[in-house]
């Protein structure tokens, strides 16, 4: 018997990052109860062994609640850093000259090692080099095989091993480092549901990760570089979902360019039927404060109005002083926005153009029929999850109950807008499909006696990608009888 868990009242998903402030079983359960639908494990921090009890705690919570819970493993990606200084830190004066070279000698106020040959191969005169998350700006004035001369446009204190961003170059870097390959293999072995690839520059960057994953989990591309935005549609086509990683994107782009870029990425992902997450600094002040600023609340609300599939907490839930309160606040903001009578119109501002396929046509029809007959929900039978993704892309006004015999598919739904996934046995006939749809709709609070639901499935049953049935059924009072 499948345990009955009522769907969240909101449709946008909440993704919470786990870390020192929240990685105990008790805190994970508290975050889930507060509204977290999915959990992000940041592979940049800690070793692999420390992640095992966290994953086990999530799976134990999943078992106790009867609700599939999504785990996303976020790979670190290639990190660019300067070398070390003789005194640990220098002051770069605005207007001064500064050299980056291949010399391992500790640096000073005139030069420092840059241990990344790829930058020397890709550099061009006039290119910007951003240091320490964009706090300092260098402009390239000349270069050679093993040196780059710059002028300091924005100065500041620069210390050992600070990060470097190169927004004006496409580097010949492998998308996966040796650490990433090891972490990816670990994540696949631990059966996580999504793997996020950092610093994607081009669609080809996804190929090796896709090959190593071998179809065992879903692949998400983090859009955090201008070069990725230049080939956005190709990247979205090559992955299973995308993240608007506004932290690094905001370093490499002028701040005023980030909001329209966010809207463009969300719109493109929605149009192409890929889940899209808006992330970074959403409730940043709640790292140290029990309440957010009004501007942060508005920022989260904007992502919900834009129709993002999920909104993410980073340090707020991973290392902040108020992790549960941060999730509670994000849940409350999303719920309030979705209750706004204008929300439906704004979510549908992005015009969907279904592909000329039977599955897309039925997904579009399911939304329209549900509205026209005042259905209380859409029931989706799926193996791979593709039917659910197509329906979610249409942003129907009613909940989407996803019934699947594959636990992997059920877990991946935690990043998909409007879905409530249930892991349950498959059906083997049309009559079984109708009966099961009615029972599960009532059991999970989607419908009650007298309500209508729209059922979407594929015949023959159990065949992925065969969506070809759309059926409207009416619930009667005794539908809870029978097997789950």
Could you tell me the pTM of the whole model? 0.91
**24 included as an active-site residue:** no
Q: What is the pLDDT of residues 281-306, one digit of tens each?
A: 999 999 999 999 999 999 999 999 99
Lowest average pLDDT, out of 228-242, 323-337, 407-421, 452-466, goes to 452-466
Residues 8, 40, 111, 225: which is the catalytic one? 40
Mean pLDDT, rounded, of the chain: 92
**59 included as an active-site residue:** no
Q: What is the pLDDT of residue 478?
A: 61
Residues 79, 81, 179, 181: which is the catalytic one? 81
Distances (CA, A) of 138 to 86, 147, 395, 428: 21, 14, 45, 65
- Which is higher by pLDDT, 193 or 357? 193
Task: Classify 281 in phi/psi space as left (phi over 0), alpha (psi -120 to 50) or beta.
Answer: left
Is pLDDT of 3 > 60?
A: no
Q: What are 474's strand-pairing partners?
A: 452
Q: What is the pLDDT of residue 288?
A: 97
Q: What is the pLDDT of residues 112-144, one digit of tens each?
A: 999 999 999 999 999 999 999 889 999 999 999
Q: What is the pLDDT of residue 2?
A: 42
Tell me what percent of the residues of the chain surpass a pLDDT of 70.
96
- Bond prior to 437 in cis (omega within 30° of 0): no
In the chain the domains, ranked by start, together with CATH numbers, are: 13-77+173-347 (3.20.20.60), 89-165 (2.40.33.10), 358-474 (3.40.1380.20)
pLDDT (mean) for 427-450: 91
Lowest average pLDDT, out of 66-75, 312-321, 458-467, goes to 458-467
pLDDT band at 353 (very low <50, low <70, confident <90, very high): confident
Measured CA to CA, the distance from residue 129 to residue 163 in angstroms comes to 10
Residues 67, 222, 436, 443: which is the catalytic one? 222
Residues 17, 217, 268, 280: which is the catalytic one? 280
Q: What is the pLDDT of residue 462?
A: 67
Q: What is the pLDDT of residues 397-424, one digit of tens each?
A: 999 999 999 999 999 999 999 999 999 9
**124 included as an active-site residue:** no
Nearest to residue 423, comparing CAs of 396, 454, 401, 447? 401
Q: What is the pLDDT of residue 1?
A: 38
**202 included as an active-site residue:** no
Q: What is the pLDDT of residues 61-106, one digit of tens each?
A: 999 999 999 999 999 998 899 999 999 999 999 999 999 999 999 9
Q: What is the pLDDT of residue 356?
A: 80
Is pLDDT of 482 > 50?
A: no
pLDDT band at 484 (very low <50, low <70, confident <90, very high): very low
Is pLDDT of 364 > 50?
A: yes
């Amino acid at each position: 018997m499948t345990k009955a868990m009522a769907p969240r009242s909101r449709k946008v998903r909440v993704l919470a990052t786990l870390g020192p402030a929240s990685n105990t079983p008790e805190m994970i359960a508290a975050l889930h109860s507060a509204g977290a639908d999915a959990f992000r494990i940041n592979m940049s921090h800690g070793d692999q062994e420390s992640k095992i009890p966290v994953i086990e705690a999530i799976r134990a919570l999943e078992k106790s609640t009867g609700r599939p819970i999504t785990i996303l493993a976020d790979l670190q990606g290639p990190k660019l850093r300067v070398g070390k200084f003789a005194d640990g830190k220098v002051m770069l004066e605005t207007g001064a000259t500064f050299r980056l070279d291949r010399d391992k000698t500790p640096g000073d106020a005139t030069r420092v090692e840059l241990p990344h040959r790829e930058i020397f191969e890709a550099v061009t005169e006039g290119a910007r080099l951003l240091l320490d998350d964009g706090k300092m700006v260098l402009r390239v004035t000349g270069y050679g095989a093993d040196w780059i001369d710059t002028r300091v446009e924005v100065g500041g204190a620069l210390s050992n091993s600070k990060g470097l961003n190169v927004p004006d170059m496409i580097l010949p870097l492998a998308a996966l480092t040796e650490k990433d390959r090891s972490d990816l293999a670990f994540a696949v072995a631990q059966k996580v549901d999504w793997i996020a690839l950092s610093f994607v520059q081009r669609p080809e960057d996804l190929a090796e990760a896709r090959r190593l994953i071998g179809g065992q989990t879903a692949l998400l591309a983090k859009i955090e570089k201008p070069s990725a935005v230049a080939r956005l549609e190709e990247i979205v086509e090559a992955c299973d979902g995308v993240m608007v990683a506004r932290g690094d994107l905001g370093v490499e782009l002028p701040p005023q360019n980030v909001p329209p870029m966010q809207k463009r990425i969300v719109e493109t992902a929605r149009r192409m039927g890929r889940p899209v997450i808006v992330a970074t600094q959403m409730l940043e002040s709640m790292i140290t404060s029990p309440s957010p600023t009004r501007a942060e609340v508005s920022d989260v609300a904007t992502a919900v109005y834009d129709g993002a599939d999920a909104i993410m907490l980073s340090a707020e839930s991973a290392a902040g002083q108020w992790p549960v309160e941060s999730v509670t606040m994000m849940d409350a903001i999303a719920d309030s926005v979705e209750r706004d009578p204008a929300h439906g119109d704004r979510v549908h501002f992005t015009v969907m153009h279904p592909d000329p396929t039977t599955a897309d046509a039925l997904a579009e029809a399911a939304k329209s029929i549900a509205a026209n007959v005042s259905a209380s929900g859409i029931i989706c039978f799926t193996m791979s999850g593709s039917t659910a993704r197509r329906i979610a892309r249409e942003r129907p006004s009613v909940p989407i109950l996803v019934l699947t015999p594959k636990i992997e598919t059920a877990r991946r739904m935690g990043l998909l807008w409007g879905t409530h996934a249930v892991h349950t046995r498959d059906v083997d006939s049309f009559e079984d499909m109708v009966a099961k749809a009615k029972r599960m709709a009532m059991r999970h609070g989607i419908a009650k006696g007298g309500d209508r639901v729209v059922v979407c499935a594929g015949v023959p049953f159990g065949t992925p990608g065969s969506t070809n049935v759309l059926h409207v059924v009416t619930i009667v009072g005794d539908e809870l009888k029978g097997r789950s």
